[in-house]
Amino acid sequence: MSHKTRLIAALDTQSIQQAHDWAQQLVGHVDALKLGLEFTYACGLEAVKGFAQKHPLFLDLKLHDIPNTVAGGLSALGQIHPKLLTIHAAGGPAMIERAREALEAAYPNSAERPTLLAVTVLTSMDEHALQEIGVSGSVEDQVLRLGKMAIASGADGLVCSSKEIIPLRQALGCQPTLVVPGIRPAGSASDDQKRIMTPTDAARAGADWIVVGRPITRATHPAEAARAIQAELQSV
């Protein structure tokens, strides 16, 4: 691989204290921290903002609404300065275009603009679940369909499962940012993740960022666990 795969630690907690404790331990050992709905709803946007002032932040709120409402939400996030953020590709081209425009307006300096990521098919959905919402065909077909549409509509990248990295790279080339959760270092517990891959294999397949939660946050020494993953990524 010609580019380095970077490490995001997912801080899934409702406690500001816990999130700060983890962040303090992980400074210098991870490339960004992820906060999502759980932290944001429990602790509020001020707490998220406080985090973003101190650490590179992946704000994973997965917005999905009419274009005008998503654009309004994202322009309000101009106060927060996350490095990466998420919307749902299923919101469609108009929603993604408006999201992109709102971010460009909120961050006139393109170097400061957060990377706009579209979530394709949730990893909790399988082919049967897709059928139940009226989508025929395989999960991979749907990921590729939504992924191509999202990038053509202005998303900078996609959140995808490890299984989808190679087909997405084949379809879209090396430009889009691919962020991949469901990563497990060899020998660690899979927890509730179904489609998992090691950091090495995700890096080889072409992930730009990997997202690792419990293998870091539940480790006896989180910094040690993060350092081991970084060492694995360095050796690819």
* Choice from 36, 50, 92, 206 touching ligand C5P (CB under 6 A): 36
- Per CB under 6 A, contacts with ligand C5P among 184-203 are 191, 193
Instruction: Give the residue numbers of the binding site.
Output: 12, 34, 60-69, 123, 184, 193, 213-214
Assigned token pair, 214: 């419990």
* Choice from 82, 114, 147, 181 touching ligand C5P (CB under 6 A): 181
Q: How far apart are CA 194 and CA 137, in angstroms?
A: 20
Site stretch for ligand C5P (CB under 6 A), options 21-29, 95-103, 104-112, 210-218: 210-218
- How close are the terminal C-alpha atoms of the chain, in Å? 7
Residues 84-123, one symbol each (x = binds ligand C5P by CB under 6 A, - = not), give --------------------------------------xx
Instruction: Give the residue numbers of the binding site for substrate.
Output: 12, 34, 60-69, 123, 184, 193, 213-214
β-strand partners of 183? 197
Is 62 an annotated catalytic residue?
yes
DSSP tag of 201: H
Which one is catalytic: 4, 62, 163, 194? 62
Q: Is 129 in the site for ligand C5P (CB under 6 A)?
A: no
Pairing state between β 6-10 and 209-212 = parallel
β-strand partners of 210? 7, 180
Q: Is 159 in the site for ligand C5P (CB under 6 A)?
A: yes
* Choice from 212, 225, 228, 229 touching ligand C5P (CB under 6 A): 212
Site stretch for ligand C5P (CB under 6 A), options 46-54, 66-74, 144-152, 208-216: 208-216
Q: Is 182 in the site for ligand C5P (CB under 6 A)?
A: yes
β-strand partners of 36? 60
Q: If binding means CB under 6 A, how many residues of this protein chain bind ligand C5P?
A: 14
In the bound state with ligand C5P, the residue whose beta carbon lies nearer, of 89 and 106, is: 89
Helix intervals (H) in the chain: 16-26, 37-43, 45-54, 67-76, 93-106, 127-132, 139-152, 165-172, 199-205, 214-217, 222-234
Q: Is 126 in the site for ligand C5P (CB under 6 A)?
A: no
Give the SS3 label for residue 110: helix
Q: Is 213 in the site for ligand C5P (CB under 6 A)?
A: yes
Assigned token pair, 180: 């991949």
Pairing state between β 84-88 and 57-63 = parallel
DSSP tag of 89: G
Of 184, 178, 175, nearest to 225 by C-alpha is 184
Q: Which residues form the interface with ligand C5P (CB under 6 A)? A: 10, 12, 36, 122-123, 159, 181-182, 191, 193, 211-214
Give the active site residues.
Answer: 62
